[in-house]
Structure 1
């Protein structure tokens, strides 16, 4: 039965991920894998594995949560575009440069490939051998010293002529001399055999003895002829290998060059080699221009991984993604437009993500994506582990500011209480520890502060970004205003957006200061909240939610 392939579906939150984005992706991966394992699998179907990834670096609050529950954060994926490792399934085993041309040919026929990779003992690529190289060795090489020049191993000769070693050491190589076919009488033979030669002969005792006396390195006795003990003894004493084969002299003469090691004919200069992590977009033009059928693929440490051909570019499988906690293209992982989105689970307004086919979308007006994931566990009757419960509860605490946010619903509170019970968690104490960790901004750069929780939004032709910093330390937030104001304009220019806002949210007072950059930012802000900013800042009383209280106002003003 053919071995089942493993197909990966990635689960990703948004760029500049917050605690909900990370924890929901991790929990959903756990849920999906448990559902998959519980189902009766089709014996012919490929195995699907769900893997959480992140589209940015962790903020301090999320780091605290990861440490609190002793879990490893999802792997960082910089770009979601299709990589070579996603589309090439040719894991053709590499071969040693010492194997014979005949063995290489047999291998090519067995695996139905026209090119083989040659690697060293550590798996590093040394060169390539193709059917063209083998044809050239057979049709264009007439030098009878070629076995010595190529340092042909005796074992290759034995294998090629399907022979048996009667004397000598199979590990040795031909290092000198030429190939001689001995069919004449001994007087003539003596004049043609030199020390180190490989001699092909028949069953004549005197011819065999003559070859030994002339210090041949190898004698090949054809037609399955018997070799006397005397000949074997003399050969052993003289360091000469004796090989017996059932083939006749003509067949052995034809086969002998096929014993040459492929390293002698391999292509090792100017190889076109790709890294398995390279993006298909970056290499497909090279593949189309080169007149090569197969291209070797290596790992990041230059070990051979397999082959890729132009055929792999036809109907290639794109990475598959489930998006959690977002559905805006500008917020998604880089390269998301080059992937296949199979599902979206979110609690924000519907955004700009486009899909190539219908997908499952679960979008609920709750305060946190983790609440939806909790519901999915219950609906599928899957037990929630203590660790997953802790992660989901942490996400709800973070997104709802421990139920202070106007986005919080009774369902969020109910889910958090159930999850805290499973995790054995004191929500109040855990929330204080989380928010304290996230409020530690002293050692952070301006860029780290802005992007620890930052999202882009688009309305018509206008694009704006909103960052948010939540803290329980009002004094620290006040200092942050003066520190961040000069930075916002350069950040807006770098992001190539029209306006940029940063909410500085005081969890205890349930108010936010907003600072901004962009020509129209002050005007839209003053009209939207009916408050004129002073010195580049405005106090928004009772505003703690970017999703429910700030962004809708901005979107409404832009659409007016």
Structure 2
């Protein structure tokens, strides 16, 4: 059962901040499922660096890391902005006008010979110049090729590369014509050889002969001698005047000062504020080289679609990607407590009391009658083994164990051997700073105004003096981050218990939560291995009792 979805609209499958193995592997496995079953462009994402355990798992099964995503704010590149109309700065005004008429777009991006953006020209700009410059092109340097093209003319003699001066239509007497001519002017004349010769002798810059007439040999030789442009056009004098005005290059018409442009990576919510300060209709979008990518207007930012996301292994604002309020959440697949994310329409929300999100995802494969490839099966199995501590965690359910055994068979791995190697790699702390250790697998929770942070790492033995360094870091973090309670669980897989490092001004809350008396910032809880089931719930309960 496939549904078509444009690659222009990807769906980002995102795990939680400070990702653990389940968060990363669930994102990869569910993205694969959505691509294969629903035919959508699902992209697995991570919100931070992966830990050693997860790195081992991905390397073992030769699987690529998810892409790092900083936020899900909508960017310019995510929306269907206007494709650009581009014209070279030397183009005649007529060509730009025709381009606008054909496209219906009222703004042209003007570029140089290397296609780099240099300015904008609107329909209004073209009309203003055309109406005000019918007879005077003195301040312009019009390329000869522009004029010939617009005049549908033929160059009989080339004296120089440009036209200029006043435009004089030589319909009056010879004496009157001569009296009006200044050096460099452009003369439009019919088949009147005596005026043609007189104009050339008076150093006009360009002589345009209308009605398709051609100069005689004497006139041609004079033009060569005086280096005068000699052009023949089929148009009459009135149309020739219009054509000359329509030959003015865009470089004279465009706006180039104080133009506001944007890049594709910029965020819609930021450019909206900028756009509101200007009266421009369209704003150019440029790449880093100055090449025009398109045009964006206020209409586009009113009509844009938000980024599509699927959240796995979490459902709380504090744990998810920045900008989630602007995104369209399509699904949530999780096994934690409900954390208060609100959506503006119904979504698929799978929240089940199992030990691992990958268990839910594997069952989704089963329901769709899809067998995951060995590498996908392997990473899902690893996620279950990690989250359930090889079935020793109280969060582990028969569903988790059944899923792990089935996935291990597909991936052709021995669970005990693989888990031992995975946990050994994951518990190596020698080259890690206290900060990296603490944030290896960290989650933030809020109980009303209470801000709580709980980290967890697996250890195979006592980490010694490193605990004091971690506590020192936690004390600084508590003050800087405004936390009410900070905990780090040092979970010993072999002893099946956790040593707890804590900092808080609410010692009584922690004592109440675990029914113990605390004398130091470290205490041991035998049998406690699950943050989700054995640590967070009693702390939340104790905080609520405190408030009463």
| TM bracket (short chain) | 0.7 to 0.9
1:208–1:317 distance in 2 versus 1, CA, 3 Å: same
In structure 1, the partner of 2:150 is 160
In structure 1, the partner of 2:102 is 110
Residue 511 of structure 2 is aligned to residue 518 of structure 1: no
Which runs of structure 2 are paired with 1:84-483 in the superposition (5 Å)? 84-141=76-133, 144-146=136-138, 150-161=140-151, 163-167=152-156, 173-174=161-162, 179-183=167-171, 198-204=186-192, 218-225=206-213, 243-300=231-288, 302-472=290-460, 474-475=461-462, 477-483=463-469
Verify the 8 A CA contact 2:53 2:426 in the aligned structure 1: yes
User: Which one of 540, 543, 556 corresponds to residue 528 of structure 2?
Assistant: 543
In structure 2, the partner of 1:9 is 11
State which drifts further: 226-235 or 509-518.
226-235
1:222–1:62 distance in 2 versus 1, CA, 3 Å: farther
- Superposed displacement of residue 17, structure 1: 1.5
Distance in 2, Cα, partners of 1:471 & 1:143: 88
User: Which one of 537, 544, 547 corresponds to residue 559 of structure 1?
Assistant: 544
- Superposed displacement of residue 395, structure 1: 2.1
User: Which one of 508, 514, 527 corresponds to residue 494 of structure 2?
Assistant: 508
Distance in 2, Cα, partners of 1:250 & 1:488: 85
Distance in 1, Cα, partners of 2:379 & 2:215: 78
In structure 2, the partner of 1:40 is none
In structure 2, the partner of 1:486 is 472
Distance in 2, Cα, partners of 1:431 & 1:234: 97
Verify the 8 A CA contact 2:307 2:327 in the aligned structure 1: yes
SS in 1 for 2:523: strand
Ranges in structure 2 where 5+ consecutive residues have no aligned partner: none
Distance in 2, Cα, partners of 1:99 & 1:19: 59
Distance in 1, Cα, partners of 2:221 & 2:51: 79
Distance in 1, Cα, partners of 2:229 & 2:199: 11
1:199–1:457 distance in 2 versus 1, CA, 3 Å: same
State which drifts further: 298-307 or 229-238.
229-238
In structure 2, the partner of 1:81 is 73
1:381–1:186 distance in 2 versus 1, CA, 3 Å: farther
Verify the 8 A CA contact 2:365 2:372 in the aligned structure 1: yes
Verify the 8 A CA contact 1:167 1:240 in the aligned structure 2: no
SS in 2 for 1:95: strand
Verify the 8 A CA contact 1:343 1:359 in the aligned structure 2: yes
Distance in 1, Cα, partners of 2:489 & 2:245: 77
1:204–1:415 distance in 2 versus 1, CA, 3 Å: farther
State which drifts further: 441-450 or 208-217.
208-217
1:187–1:322 distance in 2 versus 1, CA, 3 Å: same
State which drifts further: 260-269 or 216-225.
216-225
In structure 2, the partner of 1:55 is 47
1:309–1:215 distance in 2 versus 1, CA, 3 Å: same
TM-score (norm 2): 0.88
- Superposed displacement of residue 276, structure 1: 2.5
Distance in 1, Cα, partners of 2:356 & 2:93: 64
Distance in 2, Cα, partners of 1:464 & 1:109: 62
1:191–1:26 distance in 2 versus 1, CA, 3 Å: farther
Verify the 8 A CA contact 2:85 2:107 in the aligned structure 1: no
Ranges in structure 1 where 5+ consecutive residues have no aligned partner: 38-47
In structure 2, the partner of 1:45 is none
Distance in 2, Cα, partners of 1:232 & 1:50: 72
Number of aligned positions between the proteins: 541
Please list the CA deviations of residues 149-182 of structure 1 after superposition, one character each: whole Å capped at 9, or x if unmatched: 5443333323433x14455789x84176554434
Verify the 8 A CA contact 1:215 1:238 in the aligned structure 2: yes
SS in 2 for 1:253: helix
State which drifts further: 349-358 or 277-286.
277-286
Distance in 2, Cα, partners of 1:355 & 1:168: 73
Verify the 8 A CA contact 1:344 1:360 in the aligned structure 2: yes
Distance in 1, Cα, partners of 2:224 & 2:121: 36
Please list the CA deviations of residues 104-160 of structure 1 after superposition, one character each: whole Å capped at 9, or x if unmatched: 2222233322222223455543111122322331234467344xx544333332343
SS in 1 for 2:246: helix
Distance in 2, Cα, partners of 1:339 & 1:205: 75
Verify the 8 A CA contact 1:151 1:173 in the aligned structure 2: no
Verify the 8 A CA contact 2:441 2:455 in the aligned structure 1: yes
Distance in 1, Cα, partners of 2:36 & 2:225: 69
Please list the CA deviations of residues 33-88 of structure 1 after superposition, one character each: whole Å capped at 9, or x if unmatched: 22233xxxxxxxxxx53222222232233333333444442332222222233335
